[in-house]
């Protein structure tokens, strides 16, 4: 297993981290085996919280951690709100320690966080006091945050100096946080990249994306992980894994990746920029065409078609199209034409919806 510095914490984190939110809910024995096998393979970062998997996440994680959480980087997580106090936040930290069956968490993360919640965190008698108390008592080691706020806001969050890590989405198809990741590298804030396979989208075959990786990648999922790790400011890629086979494949992918130079990464970014530009010529998802009086989700259909046509994710796109409500699919278009005058890019929406129905629905 490859290891990388986790910001300025002094910790070395496995390049592959395990997001425990996807452990098999109805098979505790398998969940324990997956955690155990991950540790045996050298994975040392496990992200947990009490609410995932219908409240079962930490219960399912605990057996695999039993007796060996020291030396691992295990994180708990709780959000903050207007009614959060130091007392109730500290009680939640203690509860998550109890459920996990450990006496120490290397990280505790403020979950679902954003710039607008900084005052809720830092207020007198608030959650930050609880985190500082837990750290002083040796219950936690470091403080991080997770969330989906704007890149600009997250850059402001890490510049407060409160946090030692951040967990944010980053993938081939979502590079919006790249500037924030670069700033984190400058500040010495660890970066845990979540959703590296774009919520499973990048499990679908795409020769175009596989070819981006120096020397090529044998699957699109492998390309997705390796792209994330090609960014030198990323500490680890956090993947939700719920089978031994998925774990083994991801471990092999990470172990086989020899790294990429700064020039390689810039080249990959440049090609992805070209792909994005090509997709924008089809539809920019501005939404001006909506609402369709007949219920067709015009931007949604075009988004699927973009992923199929531009990134080669045809299998995934066809599956998503088949799962759409019938009235929202492109083949439900009545060709009334009311949408076309609203399009700022003057796209031939009716003709392109026909192309979507033909390519994704087989109509």
- State which of 238, 260, 282 marks the end of a domain: 260
- Total tally of structural domains belonging to the chain: 2
Q: Are 153 and 114 in contact (CB under 8 A)?
A: yes
Q: Whole-angstrom Cα distance, residue 199 to residue 195?
A: 6
Bin 299: left if φ > 0, else alpha if -120 < ψ < 50, else beta: alpha
CA distance linking residue 127 with residue 135, whole number of Å: 12
Instruction: Say yes or no to pLDDT of 40 above 60.
Output: yes
Residue with tokens 């500082």: 132
pLDDT, tens digit, 9 for 90 and up, residues 291-333: 899 999 999 999 899 888 888 899 999 999 999 999 999 999 9
Do 160 and 60 fall into the same domain? Answer: yes
- Smallest CA-to-CA distance from 321 within 347, 355, 284, 345 is with 355
Domain membership flag for residue 291: no
The reply to whether 268 falls in a domain is no
User: Which tokens in the block code for residue 197?
Assistant: 């396979």
CA dist., res. 291 & res. 114, Å (int): 30
The predicted pLDDT at position 279 comes to 60
- Confidence class of residue 267 from pLDDT cuts 50, 70 and 90? very high
Q: Could you list the residue range(s) of the whole structural domain that residue 304 is in? A: 298-361
Dump pLDDT digits (tens) for 75-126.
999 999 999 999 999 999 999 999 999 999 999 999 999 999 999 999 999 9
Pair (324, 192) in one structural domain = no
Indicate whether 217 and 322 sit together in one domain.
Answer: no
Residue 181 is classified by DSSP as H
Q: Measure the CA–CA gap between 231 and 251, rounded to whole angstroms.
A: 18
Region 28-41: mean pLDDT is 96
Do 183 and 249 lie in one domain? The reply is: yes
Q: What is the pLDDT of residue 85?
A: 98
Same domain, 190 and 337: no
What SS3 state is found at 345?
coil
CA nearest neighbour of 234 among 252, 216, 257: 257
Q: What is the rounded average pLDDT for all residues in the chain?
A: 93
CATH number, domain with residue 29: 3.20.20.100
CA 162 – CA 4 distance, rounded (Å): 22
Handedness of CA 33, 38, 42, 48 (dihedral sign): negative
pLDDT (average), residues 6-23: 97
pLDDT confidence of residue 201 = 82
Entry pTM:
0.85
* Residue 220 is assigned to a structural domain of this protein: yes
Please, which pLDDT band fits residue 278 given cuts at 50, 70 and 90? low
- Which helix (H) or strand (E) segment holds residue 143: the answer is strand 140-146
User: What is the mean pLDDT of the segment spanning 185-193?
Assistant: 98
């Amino acid at each position: 297993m490859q290891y990388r510095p986790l910001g300025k914490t002094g910790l070395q984190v496995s390049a592959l981290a395990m997001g425990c939110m996807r452990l098999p809910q109805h098979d505790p024995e398998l969940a324990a085996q997956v955690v155990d096998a991950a540790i045996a393979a050298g994975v040392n970062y496990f992200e947990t919280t009490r609410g995932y998997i219908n409240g079962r996440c930490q219960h399912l994680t605990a057996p695999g951690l039993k007796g060996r959480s020291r030396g691992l980087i295990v994180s708990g997580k709780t959000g903050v709100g207007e009614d959060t106090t130091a007392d109730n936040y500290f009680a939640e930290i203690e509860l998550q320690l109890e459920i996990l069956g450990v006496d120490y968490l290397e990280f505790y993360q403020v979950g679902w966080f954003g710039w607008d919640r900084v005052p809720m965190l830092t207020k007198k008698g608030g959650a930050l006091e609880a985190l500082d108390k837990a750290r002083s008592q040796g219950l936690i080691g470091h403080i991080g945050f997770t969330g989906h706020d704007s890149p600009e806001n997250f850059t402001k969050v890490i510049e407060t100096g409160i946090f030692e890590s951040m967990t944010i989405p980053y993938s081939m198809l979502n590079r919006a946080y790249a500037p924030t990741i670069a700033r984190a590298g400058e500040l010495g804030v660890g970066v845990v990249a979540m959703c590296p396979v774009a919520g499973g989208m990048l499990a679908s075959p795409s020769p175009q994306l596989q070819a981006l990786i120096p020397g090529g990648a044998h699957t699109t999922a492998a390309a997705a992980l390796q792209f994330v790790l090609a960014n030198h400011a990323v500490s680890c890629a956090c993947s939700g894994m719920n089978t031994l086979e998925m774990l083994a494949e991801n471990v092999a992918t990470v172990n086989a990746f020899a790294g990429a130079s700064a020039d390689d990464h810039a080249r990959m970014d440049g090609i992805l920029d070209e792909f994005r530009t090509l997709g924008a010529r089809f539809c920019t998802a501005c939404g001006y065409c909506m609402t369709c009086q007949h219920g067709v989700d015009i931007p949604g259909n075009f988004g699927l078609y973009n992923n199929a046509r531009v990134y080669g994710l045809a299998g995934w796109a066809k599956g998503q199209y088949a799962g759409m409500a019938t009235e929202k699919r492109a083949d439900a278009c009545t060709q009334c034409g009311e949408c076309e005058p609203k399009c700022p890019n003057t796209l031939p929406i009716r003709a392109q919806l026909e192309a979507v129905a033909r390519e994704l629905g087989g109509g």
